[in-house]
Amino acid sequence: DQQVKQNSPSLSVQEGRISILNCDYTNSMFDYFLWYKKYPAEGPTFLISISSIKDKNEDGRFTVFLNKSAKHLSLHIVPSQPGDSAVYFCAASIRTGTASKLTFGTGTRLQVTL
Amino acid sequence: KAGVTQTPRYLIKTRGQQVTLSCSPISGHRSVSWYQQTPGQGLQFLFEYFSETQRNKGNFPGRFSGRQFSNSRSEMNVSTLELGDSALYLCASRHGQGNTGELFFGEGSRLTVL
């Protein structure tokens, strides 16, 4: 049972345009959400997070939106750069549990073209 | 400061063998967790250790085990290897025991079972 779903395995975007990566979850107990980025042969690196008490969090070119009623979150990257080409994982946790137990989606491979 | 270090980076085993993977967390980090990454499954939580105690465990069979030493270094062991155990095993460390603080991942140990 995949509790965190990333239904788009890949996405191609032109440099300078907006990249939108989507994530859906089914467990209503999740109250903390994160995005990680992974380059080949490297471990995932933390990108941005959002608590369920917020609906938006912004950090530079990266913005995460959370729609709790729809159990949906999205990551917007504006403007997209070639260095953003990587696999992006959405993750969720329950803060009454342990922040180390993240439930990850299967990832979306973003390719930013020139 | 040095990141999370995992050894070995690559290894090949045959079915029925056992394997031990090692993880040195970032200095000062006391929480170490392990994840398995396979194509199509994303990252799946194996277990977390804090102060030499297992705090949480994912849904993996008993063939998967781990431990943490007094210096916070951690090992995980997989016994009676099966073909399906072929995966990238990622270790992540975190500073605290509570529910804040991002996970810092190592580059992983890629295990191939023949």
DSSP B42-58: EEEEEEEEETTEEEEE-
Confidence at residue B56, expressed as pLDDT on a 0 to 100 scale: 86
Residue A95, classed as helix, strand or coil, is coil
Answer for the pair B52, B66: CB distance below 8 angstroms, yes or no.
no
Q: Tell me which amino acid residue B7 is.
A: T
Tell me, yes or no, if A96 comes closer than 8 A to chain B by beta carbon.
yes
Q: Do A100 and B108 touch (CB under 8 A)?
A: no
Confidence at residue A96, expressed as pLDDT on a 0 to 100 scale: 61
Q: Which of A100, A103, A105 sits opposite B31 (nearest CB)?
A: A100
Confidence at residue B61, expressed as pLDDT on a 0 to 100 scale: 96
Residue pLDDT, tens place only, B24-68: 999 999 899 999 999 878 899 999 998 899 988 999 999 999 999
Residue B101 pLDDT exceeds 80 = no
- A84/A77 Cα distance (integer angstroms): 9
Confidence at residue A60, expressed as pLDDT on a 0 to 100 scale: 97
**Taking Cα atoms as reference points, which of A108, A55, A34, A6 lies closest to residue B100?**
A34
- A107/A37 Cα distance (integer angstroms): 9
Residues in chain A where the model's pLDDT stays below 70: 1, 95-100
**Taking Cα atoms as reference points, which of A81, A23, A36 lies closest to residue B35?**
A36
Mean pLDDT (whole number) for B82-90: 96
Residue B96 pLDDT exceeds 80 = no
Residue B73 pLDDT exceeds 70 = yes
Q: Do B90 and A44 touch (CB under 8 A)?
A: yes
Q: Chain A partners of B31 at a C-beta cutoff of 8 Å?
A: 100
Question: What torsion, rounded to 10 degrees, do the Cα atoms A92, B55, B4, B36 define?
Answer: -60
Distance (Å) from the C-alpha of residue B112 to the closest C-alpha of chain A? Answer: 15
